[in-house]
Structure 1
Amino acid sequence: MNLSSEQAAELRTLAADRHVTADVALRARIVLWAGEGHRRKDIAELAGVSARTVDRTKTRYAERGVAGLVEKKRGGGKEQVPPQTRGRVIALTRMTPPPESGLSHWSTRTLADHLKRREGIRVSFHYVARIWREENLKPHRSGTFKLSKDPAFAEKVADIVGLYLDPPGGAVVLSVDEKTQVQALDRTQPVLPVTFAATEKRTHDYVRHGTTNLFAALNVATGEVLGECKPNRNSRNFLAFLKKAVKPHAGKEIHIVLDNLSTHTTPDVTAWLEKNPHVHFHFTPVGSSWLNQIEIWFGVITRQSIRRGTFSSVHVLVKQIRDYIDSWNQNPKPFTWTATTGEILAKVRLVATSVRKLVNNNSN
């Protein structure tokens, strides 16, 4: 299959477009690989599809161009829901169902039904199943809510949830964390021949051009995000980013939710906090990063901008992240936190009781 330079450029743009579905992006890559002269069976191996699908995709492109790749299948398009709903599905999945439900764990149908009846959120169980696949969530295997061994778990949960549900008057609440080792992958230039085993495929499908570390701060009240990419994740870069994050809120009390990592508690950071008593750190419990709302936003940017993007260099990746943040901040929407401290602690106690019963039964 021969492609002009204009056609190849159009297909690369389509493959990297964060607004198209994964199926459309994959079809664009299939046509690109065919245009580069790769064999039919090699393309099928790279794409994880049958040779027949490769032929059908090429035919659709030959007959209708890009329109043949993006047209919707019969039966309607992909279910569209706001990012806040996705975050709520993920948060609920990681918790055990309410005690009054009588459920030991969620299923896709029971979670979708709970959202509809209790929270007025309407999504299909197919949507819940897709989120579970994308986030590798398996509540039927893991027992959902992960128990924290932090001795101050209850106090920290109450502290952070209190900030979300009833922030101090006039204060600013920021959710801060770092997404490390974000990879710049060129997905349009596969390494061939593909004669390796299926388990090795993920290592060789893409050309890797390096990584960056994304520092981000979410304004819990407004939904606005401040983000900055750094080559290294260390205390110096964290402190530099922290100073930028608090600068727009001069004269206000600032409460920052973050993980208790070594880079967040170095002598330099501690000394800076002593000189800035209006800034207060609130650490999430050990093993409970789900309490940090910025983690929800990291999931959104990963799904919408990074996961299927094509980046020929770290510079291109960083520009994509900056553009996404600029676009997000044009119409920011805060995430709505609904779980109270009592509900969370009740679920933890239920899980702990279930775990003890399981251990006792196995020992007997």
Structure 2
Amino acid sequence: MSYQLTHPSLQHDRRILLSITKWLLIVGVSQAVQIRLSASERKRLRKIARGHRSPVREKLRAQIVGDAARGLPNTVIAHRCGVVEDTVRKWRGRFAADRLEGLKDLPRSGRPPSFTPVQVVEVKALACQIPADADVPLARWSCPELARHVVAAGVVESISTSTLRRWLTADAIKPWQYRSWIFPRDPDFAAKAGRVLDLYAGIWEGESLGVDEYVISSDEKTSIQARCRCHPSLPPGTARMMRINHDYERGGVLAYLAAYDIEGARVFGRCEPSTGIEPFMALVEQVMTQEPYVSAKRVFWVVDNGSSHRGKKAIERLTKRFSNAVMVHTPVHASWLNQIEIYFSVVQRKVVTPNDFTDLAEVEDRLLTFENRYNATARPFRWKFTRNDLDDLLTRIDRHQAAEPALTEAA
């Protein structure tokens, strides 16, 4: 007997099959995680889905969640997004559990490391050595040179310059850079530096300075040349910096002497053919014959150990000429403690460089005109180095000196 679809028993089976199918579809839809979005979440998902710079995988996940929030079943979402239903269920469930954070990739172990921690440490240790100590004829390491050396030394089989640079950057190691420094050679460095720093803080011999007491920082900027360029300098233009001709004719040199009131932020300067006792005393005369210094109780002159104001004779010479003047010396090789050096740095950058002057008269006119311009708007320097910083510096120096014999013996 052949069965046809019209047979009563088959019609009954068909009705049962359709009922089961409907039930499965209803159960499948009802079991899908319901997604409801807040206004901010909807805005964020729309931005991800439409963003030109959004990664493709993030766009896909945002589209899946957006369709789910509109009530579409997983089968339809999978068809629209070109993925399987399991993918839709995964991101639908992840979003329901963790919201927007759930759409991010979970942390992974990633690719196994190509270098051991020991190799990384050895490379960094080499970067912290002077190349000559490793028998390499270089003054400083560069990343390519260091990469070449660690391979030749057998530390690693191979390494790229970018990888090595990333390792060094992680610990802020920059072996290609350097800066100069100097050990204190003055046996009274701490005492002399402390007196200067106390004056900057408004203290002298443990007592605060009065309103009629002033601190002057003074020095000479020597050998300022008048270089007349063989061709006129060209001003800057669009996509072009100022250009200065390399060749020049010498027009002589002069010295710029200046005194700086650290509280009033006022500069007193003069130009002289050279430095010496007489030019320096002329500067002192220029300052001390003006108010408020002429009637001040005390005026402290902070100077370095230059020949024009060195030693006890300079102190006696100043006191003899002006009884209210007190000379205070910085330690030997410590001109960085003299605030006038900051002003000289400003002059060098803003007035002298690039050096293109017709003659010395033009140099002098430029310096003195700038001095007036500076005084019109200047404010006191924000001096931050204090006695506490000095103590820390001396402690570090002592620690370094104590470690030197051990390093020498180990070498």
Bucket of the pairwise TM-score, normalised by the shorter protein: 0.5 to 0.7
* Aligned-residue RMSD, C-alpha: 2.6
Letter in 1 for 2:305: N
Distance 2:406 2:281 in 1: 47
| Aligned match for 1:152, one of 183, 188, 192 | 188
TM-score (norm 2): 0.49
| Partner SS state of residue 354, structure 2 | coil
| Aligned match for 2:375, one of 299, 324, 329 | 329
Distance 2:377 2:289 in 1: 22
> What are the equivalent positions in structure 2 for 1:202-221 lying under 5 Å apart?
205-221=247-263
Contact 1:165/1:338 (<8 A) preserved: no
Contact 2:318/2:325 (<8 A) preserved: no
Distance 1:346 1:268, change over 3 A: closer
Counterpart residue number, 1:361: 407
Counterpart residue number, 2:329: 283
Letter in 1 for 2:307: S
Distance 1:332 1:270, change over 3 A: same
Distance 1:149 1:203 in 2: 42
Letter in 1 for 2:333: G
For CA contacts below 8 A with separation 6 or more, give which structure has more relative contact order: 1
Letter in 2 for 1:158: G
Counterpart residue number, 1:126: none
| Partner SS state of residue 150, structure 1 | coil
Q: What is the Cα deviation at residue 356 of structure 1?
A: 3.9
Distance 1:215 1:165, change over 3 A: same
Distance 1:139 1:326, change over 3 A: farther
Distance 1:139 1:152 in 2: 35
Q: What is the Cα deviation at residue 256 of structure 1?
A: 0.7
- Provide structure 2 residue ranges, at least 5 long, that are not aligned to the other structure: 1-174, 204-208, 233-243
Counterpart residue number, 1:317: 363
| Partner SS state of residue 141, structure 1 | coil
Question: Structure 1 residue 232 and structure 2 residue 277: aligned?
Answer: no
Contact 2:230/2:247 (<8 A) preserved: no
> What are the equivalent positions in structure 2 for 1:173-212 lying under 5 Å apart?
173-187=215-229, 189=231, 205-212=247-254
Distance 1:189 1:353 in 2: 55
Deviations 1:238-284 (A, max 9, x none): 11111112222111110010012221147576234134221001100
Counterpart residue number, 1:163: 199
Letter in 2 for 1:222: G
| Aligned match for 2:295, one of 251, 263, 284 | 251
Per mean C-alpha deviation after superposition, the further-off stretch among 232-241 and 258-267 is 258-267
Q: What is the Cα deviation at residue 222 of structure 1?
A: 1.5
| Aligned match for 2:317, one of 271, 275, 292 | 271
Count of paired positions: 215
Distance 1:141 1:333 in 2: 32
Contact 1:189/1:207 (<8 A) preserved: no
Distance 1:269 1:154, change over 3 A: closer
Q: What is the Cα deviation at residue 158 of structure 1?
A: 1.2
Q: What is the Cα deviation at residue 345 of structure 1?
A: 2.4
Q: What is the Cα deviation at residue 188 of structure 1?
A: 5.0
TM-score (norm 1): 0.55
